[in-house]
Amino acid sequence: MGADPAPAARPGAHGIDLVDMAFWARLPSERLADFARLRELGPPVWFPEPRVPFVRSGKGFYALVRHADVVEASRNAAVFSSEPAATSPEPPPWLAKVFGTPMVNMDDPRHARLRRIVFRAFTPRMLAGIEAEIRATAARIVDEVIADEPHDFVEQVAARLPINVICAMMGIPERARPYVLSRIDAMTAYSGVRGSLASPRALRLLYGNLRAIVDLHRLVARLGRARREAPTGDLVSALVNAGESGEALSVRELGSFFDLLLVAGNETTRNALAHGLHLFTEHPDQRDLLLADYDARIGGAIEEIVRYVSPIVQFRRTLTRDHELGGRRLRAGDKVVLFYPAANRDPEAFADPDAFDITRKPNPHVGFGGPGPHLCLGANLARMELRIMFRELFDRLPGLRATGEPEYLLSSFDNGITRLPFTYTGRGGSRP
Ligand code: HEM
């Protein structure tokens, strides 16, 4: 199983190590420069990974950094499997036995069955149903910014919208939401390339992660059982009771789905919002272009934010059989990691890839994943949240801009911003 990597392909020959957390501590521009060098090297490069206690053992992965390679690995799921896991570090097999497997870590037909059921959460009708709630939440967030002093865009705006939207979808009462947020933070602290987690800190994070999963599962299991006994017409009722196809989620599957929504739909949208404000500050010409005709241009602007930033950095696949990709012969059992930020700046796919251009057309970015069975299920929800939140912000906070450099999250999974100072003009003039 697994190809023996050629010595020349080992990190060191090119001086880049994607497994070392020091790589992810560098500035985004420096990481992108290294990804450009990897793209230019040609065939996918191999990165060995150290073993980590309690985590599925593996030898390493080939880094996919070219747009064409990421698209092929996403589309060709028969060869590029999402099992045993698309996330890094790969969870140990017992974890799936205890908590169930999220759909992102499954192949068809198991994946297709779950996707069919949970699609009920994302139909145009369901999305239209929560649009008013998203508008009201966005308005409340801006009310509170106006009532308070603007200091941190992440804390006051970006972190608040997505979690409230997901909780509203799931019918989680307002009073339980701070608790849910603390559990999510504990869960996401463990995501990333495993090499960095070979330490006592890794075990602490793993423990915190497991506790958080147990707590959240308990919460939604209670909700699921209640809705099964007395359906209310909300999303959880739709998921745990059989639909037209006769299929429904088990209470355990509901727990896994909720974890996935929280992990997939929370940080991603939060980071797209924060990066969006930073980008509009750095590129005032693009902000002016947007504001000159918001309705016509916001769709293109959102796609360009997602391309430029790639809020999710990577997912992985495992080869089911030998296959040639991008000039490299891969073997059954090999792992590949799809690096979306690298693919989204590939000059073979995008003219002038480092320009932030909200009118870019076409824009075949892979920020929501490549085309294929796992393409982001929440993309239209994320688009709606970004459209509504930026409209509310730009309409009511004239001169909205960041006032300093973002503080970045140290992660190889989320391209996160943890703090972004901001200001706006109005209500008595410009703030410092
Ligand atoms: C800007 C925001 C977002 C970004 C950049 C993003 C990115 C991604 C990516 C890259 C994947 C592909 C996984 C793969 O190929 O293995 C994915 C899948 C997924 N996303 Fe998103 N996402 C975003 C927002 C959301 C939201 C708001 C939700 C739901 C509330 C969501 C739910 C999901 C789900 C359920 C999957 C798994 C689909 C499957 O396995 O069939 N995402 N997302």
pLDDT at 192: 47
Decide if 249 contacts 391 (C-beta within 8 A): no
E strands along 267-388, which residues? 314-319, 323-325, 328-330, 335-339
pLDDT digits (tens, 9 = 90+) for 179-192: 887 887 777 665 54
Instruction: Take atom 20 of ligand 1 and give the residue whose Cα is closest.
Output: 376
Q: Which of 208-217, 357-366, 407-416 has the lowest average pLDDT?
A: 208-217
Asked whether residue 203 carries a pLDDT value surpassing 80, the answer given is no
Structure tokens at 43: 């065939």
Which CATH class name applies to 7-423? mainly alpha
366 lines ligand 1 (CB under 6 A): no
**312 CB within 6 A, ligand 1:** yes
Residue ranges of the domains in the chain? Answer: 7-423
Of residues 427 and 136, more confidence is placed in 136
CA of 377 to the centre of ligand 1 (A): 6
| C-alpha–C-alpha distance, residues 107 and 82, integer Å | 6
Which atom of ligand 1 approaches the CA of 114 most closely?
41
Q: At CB < 8 A and 24+ separation, what contacts does 122-127 make?
A: 122/377, 122/378, 122/380, 122/381, 124/380, 126/235, 127/380, 127/381, 127/384
For residue 188, give the DSSP letter: H
Closest Cα to atom 21 of ligand 1:
376
The CA-atom distances, in angstroms, between 5 and each of 42, 86, 195, 245, 334 are: 15, 22, 18, 47, 11
Looking at per-residue pLDDT, the higher value among 2 and 40 belongs to: 40
**For range 362-366, the mean pLDDT:** 98
Whether residue 416 has its Cβ less than 6 Å from ligand 1: no
- Measured from the Cβ of residue 83, the count of other Cβ atoms closer than 10 Å reads 16
